[in-house]
């Protein structure tokens, strides 16, 4: 085993695959979260982003392989004092890892919870509402664009894939730690509260005659993003005060959901003069 020199956290060494902590990491990395709801992530980038998130995320436990310990020493030195650090052989880490080329580091991260009232209290709130998306890669990409273009929060309705899905977290490139999220919201209650707060509800519909660049997207706004193939369900689309379309070439059926969401976010940011 390699030695850790300046790491302030106490380092545990585990060499048995039967160790309970390794079992926790194995299950959490496969499913996305622990039973306590902590997000499980793998790789230097995601652990780095968890630390960069400040009060929004608390790294509770880190697992490193022998090689990962050598590679991630500077990062380990920045962990919270209370964080548990465990070292395990490369071969055991590879058995737990979900990526094809593991970097030898994984973490369990507790995210700060948020509530709709806090999100709606933001000036010119910009909310993305994912309505039944099933592809975790799409949702992760949407999260990444949400962070890039200053969205206030991501809200998912029931039957939408979880942002904590391992593929979604990886596709977010760390945005999962930075963008406030509310998951599994009930449509009736959500739309009622949005309207009461003066938030306009806008949906995307490729058949709408209102082009996105002709729509006024300033002020508090909730943008509905539909399913990859079917778009917005009819009962959800009826909740929108306005449906907008993104002009595309003739002969094309539609855009990828993540691409469409990114274009909408860019247009909102442009109209707001990129003031995040």
| pLDDT value, residue 3 | 39
The reported pLDDT for the residue numbered 216 is: 97
CB atoms within 10 A of CB 51: 19
CB 105 within 8 Å of CB 72: yes
**Region of residue 30 (phi > 0: left; psi between -120 and 50: alpha; otherwise: beta):** alpha
**CA–CA gap between residue 127 and residue 96 (Å, rounded):** 36
Which pLDDT score is estimated for 9? 57
Helices 136-148 + 257-271 axis angle, to 10: 10
Token pair belonging to 4: 């850790």
* Contact residues for 263 (Cβ-Cβ < 8 A; gap 6+): 212, 246, 255
Q: Are 232 and 205 in contact (CB under 8 A)?
A: yes
Taking only the tens place, the pLDDT of each residue in 139-195 is 999 999 999 999 999 999 988 999 999 999 999 999 999 999 999 999 999 999 999
Listed as ranges, residues in the chain with pLDDT below 70 are 1-9
Could you tell me whether strands 39-42 and 105-111 are parallel, antiparallel, or unpaired per DSSP bridges? Answer: antiparallel
Separation between Cα atoms, residue 162 and residue 38, nearest integer Å = 13
Residue 230 is given by DSSP the state: T
Quote the pLDDT of residue 1: 40
């Amino acid at each position: 085993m390699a030695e850790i020199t300046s790491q302030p956290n106490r380092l545990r060494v585990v060499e048995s695959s039967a160790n309970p902590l390794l079992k926790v990491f194995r299950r959490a990395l496969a499913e996305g979260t622990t039973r306590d709801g902590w997000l499980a992530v793998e790789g230097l980038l995601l652990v780095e982003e968890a630390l960069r998130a400040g009060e929004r995320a608390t790294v509770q436990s880190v697992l490193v392989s022998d090689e990962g310990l050598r590679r991630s020493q500077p990062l380990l030195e920045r962990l919270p004092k209370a964080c548990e650090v465990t070292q395990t052989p490369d071969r055991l880490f590879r058995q737990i890892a979900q990526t094809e080329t593991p970097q030898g580091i994984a973490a369990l991260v507790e995210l700060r919870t948020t509530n709709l009232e806090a999100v709606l209290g933001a000036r010119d709130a910009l909310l993305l509402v994912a309505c039944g998306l099933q592809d975790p890669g799409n949702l992760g990409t949407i999260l990444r664009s949400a962070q890039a273009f200053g969205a206030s929060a991501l809200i998912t309705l029931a039957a939408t894939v979880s942002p904590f899905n391992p593929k979604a977290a990886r596709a977010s490139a760390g945005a999962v730690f930075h963008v406030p999220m509310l998951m599994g919201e009930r449509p009736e209650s959500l739309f009622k509260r949005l309207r009461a707060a003066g938030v306009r509800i806008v949906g995307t519909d490729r058949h709408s005659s209102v082009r996105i660049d002709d729509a006024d997207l300033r002020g508090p706004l909730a943008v509905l993003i539909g399913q990859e193939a079917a778009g917005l369900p009819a009962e959800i689309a009826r909740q929108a005060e306005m449906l907008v379309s993104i002009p595309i070439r003739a002969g094309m059926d539609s855009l990828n959901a993540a691409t469409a969401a990114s274009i909408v976010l860019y247009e909102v940011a442009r109209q707001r003069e990129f003031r995040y």
